[in-house]
């Protein structure tokens, strides 16, 4: 049966709704694909549901082709397993928690590692049962702080999540590759542009991890790539560690007065004015060591400070810091933090005062001190003397100061060298549409998923986790395929194959259109048929452009000459063909 | 691709799992269709998911054929709309409630009347947009006090819920009939036995309401039917009200001592011993009026008492009482309730003491007093005198006592007359599989869903609500189609069309089976193929019986004679056919 616009549950909007920020969101609302039910929570109208189902079906087919088996887990789950792995707490405010009538704790699952692990433990016990790959396409819940851009970042959303189970690391690597290949097929079939970038496993634990990003100016993820083929999420970029420099022969550290230098720029100006540099070069912000005080809040709510020293020409990247200090929340230290730590001289913080260590776990302040990877032994810095209005020059790492470890949280900049030596990096924005992880044995260990190996010995299973944002993909597809008139779906996910417009008032037009629609459907095509008698051709054309089926057929004025118009929504090309040959062209 | 048992995520169980009570639940667990994740919350394994999908697809097709359009609502919903209609409170403990990170109230929807109403209000504004029927197939949540029998009464479950929108009552009646017809087609296609019974609309509000029950000894619903065609849920049975009797000429009420008569039986014995009856007949419990004290708790938690007078030969039916007093909870009054109401003389409660009214809203006790419909004017009763150890005889309704209204909550008994005069009732048990309601204007009024009529006047829309328990149907089908060996699915919902067993160790067996499977699949059949080389034929046959695909093919010993066995799972018939003709018979 065709979808008839005379009775389709649809009301297209001429105006952009106030609630929508990005183009795809506006168009999905205007064209009647979705409606908002609550922040980040959407209702799928008939056209939207058709697109969502097509995306799901492509994902399902490629999962099945990759040998994964479909199951379906509850969304409402008891606390226990998530407590065991620590995620009940680690998820913080992002987790929807509730209690049932017996006051037992439940959650709305944001992802199902725990449950898949327990299910396999329940069912399987031998290496012979493996490898195994399971998946589901299911509603997930995440209480995002800032739900955004309609389906792009929702609080209730559909994900395909798959999990692999193997005995050996090689098995896991094969499963990972198999899912990765399936993802490439899926995104290719969907017609979505994507980049595979190295990712940080973050709160998910595990080792190898890659993200599939769809490049887009509205993307929330920044990624880098080099001409030589390196690509990574900025959170995953590991700054190359330069070789250490010789300490011998370096000038001694000297403290200088530095009044009114609250910023790196004023400090550099003062340095160039007052302190001649041995080599004759001028000082730049890259010669300064900025000590940034961060406050970490653990999932249990415990607050602690950490200080990170990084070259003065770099800022802290909030997302890289978040990943580096996960599962803690990270924020800049507040006035209250400084008040509680009088050892820190704000604006003049430095690792040593008169040769006495003031930053570091074993220092007088007892505050953990970490350094940017570029701050290697033998490098000399201008940094705070931890005395008001004084800085120290030529403070040499490894000679004059040291730290508790490395914090690789400085911003990544265009022009930085790729870690693999493949050349300078460029930055771009993307939307995460898929993620593949080698989880390893973290969940299996926590939940005791073991099988007997060939020698009858119990071994812990190794797992992978593979996600695709199904509803997010609908937004990504809409965002990438549109113009100022409306949506332009790729054929693979269009709500129908063909949109037939009966343009006119004569009965002959409707009779001819009705016949064409029946023939198209008989040939296996799905059809949206605009059979609204009292609606003008102009409005019908506008709705066809807004709805965005890639192939439009107009049955109208040309009918007297025995012709219909074929209208390509994407190219805009519109040409008359004989009614008889229209069918042949379209099927 | 066939489902290969060599790698299907399946582990059949020989033993009945402890958690399961009813046969279908045991078999669904043993045959690897589902697994419990929490009380009343289940995970669908690959075979179970296949059956669930088939049920959903049949429901979907018939909904579409009936002109209903599919949409998909969130499960996680904000409180507001449910607050407006009162259901946020009325649902009591059955509703899963939670708060998001901003402390806003949310619920997991048990049903979506409110959201559909608001969606139509958002999209439509004219009578020309109607009639409209929308549906979804979606996970629902209800925090059942007693989740039961696996999928039969779950806390997370799939429902198809449909809603119709019309301007006129006639339109609603047509929509209702159209859904009712679709339900008949659905249950017929599924091969489910069903009875359509009158139902009480209960907490859902509205007028006409029918339930589709599948007769089953494990059903939780009791229904009645007469040979003349009457059928109703016991909650919906309206007791016929007998004609009033003449009051004139009846003997005067007399109080008698009645020591040690705490029960109806002891009271009847005493009456027959001490008090001669005018007509010479003996007294029976039907001559006594039992006054039952019930405690009602409103959704807001307010507790109040009500007393119901009913013939002594009838008990209060808890479910009928629940419906009659909805949305209140109902329970027998406690000792504390009696202590708080010293006007009630326990064991001897009656409506009057020495001609003074003691029960009723305007009586000394101020406790509301309701009567069974059989207690009509002119009927005479033995009942408590509300004095310790005393009863009153020949207390005549309409002369000596009266009440605040009717409470039709006495048990319905086999042999009772059908309300429509179609003969005596018989009782049976059933499982509710569908429910059709004429909601009327309750939700549209509460949420202000109005459209302009032909005269440009705003009119309130009238609605219907139509539900099918999809996951419950899987249990009903399993319960009705099984034997002591396992499940026996109807072909319409079987996880595969054919189960091919390669029975033996020879390579030829597997080669022949593999070829047959490929041919069956090429002919459009779905196949489970037992290709496990190291598993004995006996175990394979047992698994085939347990899994329950209706058509089994055994490729084994007969192969030397060029034959395979066709095994009908339902009849048990097993016969050899030529390999060449097997294909022709099966497709």
What is the domain partition of chain B in residue ranges? 58-237+426-477, 254-406, 496-586
pLDDT digits (tens, 9 = 90+) for B485-542: 999 999 999 999 999 999 998 999 999 999 999 999 999 999 999 999 999 999 999 9
Contact B119 A35 (CB under 8 A): yes
**A139 SS3 class:** strand
For the domain bounded by B254-406, which CATH number is listed? 3.90.960.10
B72 CB near a chain A CB, below 8 Å? yes
Q: How confident is the model at residue A202, as a pLDDT?
A: 54
Strand pairing partners for B70? Answer: B135
Q: How confident is the model at residue B260, as a pLDDT?
A: 85
Confirm or reject CATH 3.40.50.720 for domain A57-237+426-477, answering yes or no: no
User: Which of B83, B134, B130, B87 is CA-nearest to residue B459?
Assistant: B130
- End-to-end, the C-alpha distance of chain A in Å comes to 17
Query: Are the CB atoms for B478 and B24 separated by under 8 Å?
Result: yes
Q: How confident is the model at residue A201, as a pLDDT?
A: 58
Angle between helices A46-65 and A470-480 (to 10 degrees): 110
Contact B156 A76 (CB under 8 A): yes
Determine the Cα–Cα distance for residues B156 and B149; give it in Å rounded to an integer. 13
Please state the φ and ψ torsions of residue A157, each to the nearest 5 degrees: -155, 160
Determine the Cα–Cα distance for residues B302 and B289; give it in Å rounded to an integer. 28
The b-or-e profile of B216-250 (16+ CB within 10 A means b, else e) is bebbebbbbbbeeebbbbbbbbebeeeeeeeeeeb
For residue B323, pLDDT beyond 90: no
Contact A69 B8 (CB under 8 A): yes
Query: Are the CB atoms for B529 and B553 separated by under 8 Å?
Result: no
For residue A204, pLDDT beyond 90: no
Determine the Cα–Cα distance for residues A399 and B466; give it in Å rounded to an integer. 79
Q: How confident is the model at residue B118, as a pLDDT?
A: 96
Q: Which two tokens stand for residue A140?
A: 């997930």
For residue A496, pLDDT beyond 50: yes
For the domain bounded by A496-586, which CATH number is listed? 3.40.50.800
Contact B143 A78 (CB under 8 A): no
**A289 SS3 class:** strand
pLDDT digits (tens, 9 = 90+) for B147-205: 888 898 999 999 999 999 999 999 999 999 999 999 999 999 999 999 999 887 554 44
User: Which of B376, B317, B313, B387 is CA-nearest to residue B346?
Assistant: B387
**A182 SS3 class:** helix
Query: Cα angle vertex B463, ends B458, B465, to 5°?
Result: 165
N residues, chain A: 587
Determine the Cα–Cα distance for residues A486 and A570; give it in Å rounded to an integer. 10
Determine the Cα–Cα distance for residues A412 and A428; give it in Å rounded to an integer. 11
Please state the φ and ψ torsions of residue B432, each to the nearest 5 degrees: -70, 120
A302 CB near a chain B CB, below 8 Å? no
Architecture of domain B58-237+426-477: 2-Layer Sandwich (3.30)
Per-residue pLDDT averaged across A145-158, rounded?
A: 90
Q: Is the peptide bond before B455 cis (omega within 30 degrees of 0)?
A: no
Strand pairing partners for A75? Answer: none
Residue A319's pLDDT band, with cuts at 50, 70 and 90, is confident
Q: How confident is the model at residue A271, as a pLDDT?
A: 87
pLDDT above 90: percentage of residues in chain B: 78
> What is the torsion angle, in degrees rounded to the nearest 10, for the CA atoms of residue A204, residue A206, residue A209 and residue A215?
20
Residues in chain A closer than 8 A to B78 (CB atoms) = 37-38
B76 CB near a chain A CB, below 8 Å? yes
Mean pLDDT of chain B: 93
How would you classify the pairing of strands A574-578 and B3-4? unpaired
Q: Which residue of A has its CA nearest to B145?
A: A101
A77 CB near a chain B CB, below 8 Å? yes
Report, in angstroms and rounded to the nearest whole number, the Rg of chain B calculated over CA atoms.
Answer: 30
pLDDT digits (tens, 9 = 90+) for A353-369: 988 999 999 998 899 99
**For B74, which of A42, A98, A101 is closest by C-beta distance?**
A42
Query: Cα angle vertex A432, ends A430, A435, to 5°?
Result: 140
Q: Is the peptide bond before B234 cis (omega within 30 degrees of 0)?
A: no
**B189 SS3 class:** helix
pLDDT above 70: percentage of residues in chain B: 99
Contact A143 B9 (CB under 8 A): no
User: Which of A28, A272, A299 is CA-nearest to residue A150?
Assistant: A28
Q: How far is A537 from chain B (nearest CA, A)?
A: 20
Determine the Cα–Cα distance for residues A346 and A353; give it in Å rounded to an integer. 14
Q: How confident is the model at residue A347, as a pLDDT?
A: 86
pLDDT above 90: percentage of residues in chain A: 77
Residues in chain A closer than 8 A to B98 (CB atoms) = 96-98, 108
Q: How confident is the model at residue B201, as a pLDDT?
A: 58
Q: How confident is the model at residue A273, as a pLDDT?
A: 86
Determine the Cα–Cα distance for residues A45 and A51; give it in Å rounded to an integer. 10
CB count, 10 Å around CB of B52?
A: 22
**A237 SS3 class:** coil
CB count, 10 Å around CB of B23?
A: 17
Residues in chain A closer than 8 A to B77 (CB atoms) = 37-38, 41
**For A76, which of B1, B52, B108 is closest by C-beta distance?**
B108
Determine the Cα–Cα distance for residues B113 and B108; give it in Å rounded to an integer. 13
Per-residue pLDDT averaged across A382-393, rounded?
A: 91
**For A134, which of B9, B35, B78 is closest by C-beta distance?**
B9
Determine the Cα–Cα distance for residues B322 and B320; give it in Å rounded to an integer. 5
The answer, as to whether pTM is greater than 0.90, is no
Q: How far is A7 from chain B (nearest CA, A)?
A: 8
**A433 SS3 class:** strand
Q: How confident is the model at residue A125, as a pLDDT?
A: 95
Determine the Cα–Cα distance for residues B271 and B267; give it in Å rounded to an integer. 6
The b-or-e profile of A142-152 (16+ CB within 10 A means b, else e) is bbbeebbbbbb
For residue A205, pLDDT beyond 70: no
CB count, 10 Å around CB of A361?
A: 13
Q: Which two tokens stand for residue A31?
A: 């064209």
Query: Cα angle vertex A199, ends A196, A200, to 5°?
Result: 175
**For A46, which of B70, B75, B143 is closest by C-beta distance?**
B70
Within 13 A of B150's CA, how many CA atoms are on the CB side? 30
Strand pairing partners for B288? Answer: B382
Extract the runs of DSSP E, i.e. beta strands, from B105-202: 105-108, 132-141, 156-166, 195-198
Mean pLDDT of chain A: 93
Residues in chain B closer than 8 A to A145 (CB atoms) = 101
Q: How confident is the model at residue B63, as a pLDDT?
A: 98
Q: How far is B46 from chain A (nearest CA, A)?
A: 5
Residue numbers of B between 93 and 112 with CB closer than 8 Å to A: 93-94, 96-98, 100-101, 106, 108
Determine the Cα–Cα distance for residues B50 and B55; give it in Å rounded to an integer. 9
Residues in chain A closer than 8 A to B93 (CB atoms) = 101
Q: Which residues are CB-neighbours of A167 under 8 A, at least 6 positions away?
A: A127, A130, A131, A451, A453, A459, A461, A462
pLDDT digits (tens, 9 = 90+) for B352-408: 998 899 999 999 889 999 999 999 999 999 999 999 899 999 999 999 999 999 999
Residues in chain A closer than 8 A to B46 (CB atoms) = 69-71
Residues in chain B closer than 8 A to A143 (CB atoms) = 100-101
Q: Which residue of A has its CA nearest to B141?
A: A76
Residue numbers of A between 3 and 62 with CB closer than 8 Å to B: 7-11, 32, 35, 37-38, 41-46, 49, 52
pLDDT digits (tens, 9 = 90+) for B109-145: 999 999 999 999 999 999 999 999 999 999 999 999 8
Distance of CA B159 to the CA centre of its chain: 13
Residues in chain A closer than 8 A to B156 (CB atoms) = 74-76
Q: How far is B566 from chain A (nearest CA, A)?
A: 28
Q: How far is A321 from chain B (nearest CA, A)?
A: 23
- Segment among A201-215, A249-263, A391-405, A455-469 with least mean pLDDT: A201-215
Query: Are the CB atoms for A5 and A532 separated by under 8 Å?
Result: yes
Q: How far is B142 from chain A (nearest CA, A)?
A: 10
**For B74, which of A37, A64, A122 is closest by C-beta distance?**
A37
Residue numbers of A between 238 and 297 with CB closer than 8 Å to B: none
Query: Are the CB atoms for A209 and A411 separated by under 8 Å?
Result: no
Determine the Cα–Cα distance for residues A162 and A62; give it in Å rounded to an integer. 12
How many DSSP H helices and E strands does chain A contain?
14, 34
User: Which of A161, A54, A133, A200 is CA-nearest to residue A434?
Assistant: A161
Q: How confident is the model at residue B204, as a pLDDT?
A: 46
Q: How confident is the model at residue B203, as a pLDDT?
A: 46
């Amino acid at each position: 049966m065709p979808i008839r616009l005379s009775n389709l549950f649809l009301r297209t909007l001429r105006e952009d709704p106030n609630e929508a920020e990005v183009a795809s969101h506006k168009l999905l609302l205007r064209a009647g694909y979705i409606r908002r039910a609550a922040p980040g929570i959407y209702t799928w109208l008939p056209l939207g549901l058709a697109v969502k189902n097509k995306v799901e079906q492509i994902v399902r087919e490629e999962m099945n082709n990759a040998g994964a088996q479909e199951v379906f887990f509850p969304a409402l789950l008891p606390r226990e397993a998530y407590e065991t792995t620590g995620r009940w707490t680690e998820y913080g405010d992002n987790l929807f928690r509730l209690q049932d009538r017996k006051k037992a704790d439940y959650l709305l699952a944001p992802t199902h590692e725990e449950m898949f692990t327990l299910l396999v433990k329940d069912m399987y016990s031998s290496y012979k049962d493996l490898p195994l790959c399971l998946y589901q396409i299911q509603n997930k819940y995440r209480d995002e702080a800032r739900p955004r851009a309609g389906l792009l970042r929702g609080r209730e959303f559909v994900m395909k999540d798959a999990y692999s189970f193997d005995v050996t690391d090689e098995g896991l690597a094969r499963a990972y590759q198999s899912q990765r290949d399936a993802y490439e097929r899926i995104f290719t079939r969907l017609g979505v542009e994507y980049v595979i970038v190295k990712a940080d496993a973050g709160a998910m634990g595990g080792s190898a991890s890659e993200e599939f990003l769809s490049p887009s100016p509205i993307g929330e993820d920044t990624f880098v790539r080099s001409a030589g083929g390196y690509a990574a999420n900025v959170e995953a970029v590991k700054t190359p560690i330069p070789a250490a420099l010789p300490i011998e022969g370096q000038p001694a550290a000297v403290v200088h007065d530095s009044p009114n230098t609250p910023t790196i720029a004023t400090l550099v100006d003062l340095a160039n004015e007052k302190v001649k540099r041995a080599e004759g070069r001028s000082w730049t912000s890259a010669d300064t060591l900025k000590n940034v005080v961060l406050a970490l809040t653990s999932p249990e709510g415990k607050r602690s400070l950490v200080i990170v020293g990084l070259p003065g020409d770099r800022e802290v990247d909030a997302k890289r810091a978040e990943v580096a200090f996960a599962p803690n929340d990270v924020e800049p230290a507040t006035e209250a933090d400084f008040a509680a730590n009088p050892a820190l001289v704000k604006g003049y913080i430095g690792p040593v005062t008169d040769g006495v260590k003031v930053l570091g776990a074993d220092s007088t302040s007892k505050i953990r001190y970490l350094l940017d990877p570029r701050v290697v032994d033998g490098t000399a810095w201008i940094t705070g003397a931890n005395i008001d209005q004084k800085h120290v020059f030529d403070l040499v790492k490894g000679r004059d100061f040291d730290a508790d470890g490395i914090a690789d949280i400085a911003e990544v900049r265009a022009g930085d060298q790729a870690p693999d030596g493949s050349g300078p990096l460029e930055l771009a924005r993307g939307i995460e549409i898929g993620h593949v992880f080698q989880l390893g044995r973290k969940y299996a260990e926590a939940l005791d998923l073991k099988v007997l190996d060939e020698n009858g010995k119990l071994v812990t299973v190794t797992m992978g986790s593979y996600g695709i944002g199904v509803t997010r993909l609908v937004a990504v597809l809409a965002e990438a395929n549109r113009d100022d008139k409306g949506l332009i779906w790729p054929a693979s996910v269009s709500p129908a194959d063909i949109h037939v417009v009966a343009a006119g008032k004569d009965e002959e037009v409707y009779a001819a259109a009705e016949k064409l629609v029946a023939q198209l459907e008989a040939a296996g095509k799905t059809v949206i048929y605009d059979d609204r008698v009292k609606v003008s051709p102009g409005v019908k054309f506008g709705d066809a452009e807004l709805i965005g089926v890639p192939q439009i057929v107009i049955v109208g004025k040309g009918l007297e000459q025995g012709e219909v118009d074929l209208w390509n929504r994407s190219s805009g090309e519109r040409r008359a063909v004989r009614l008889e040959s229209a069918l042949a062209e379209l099927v």
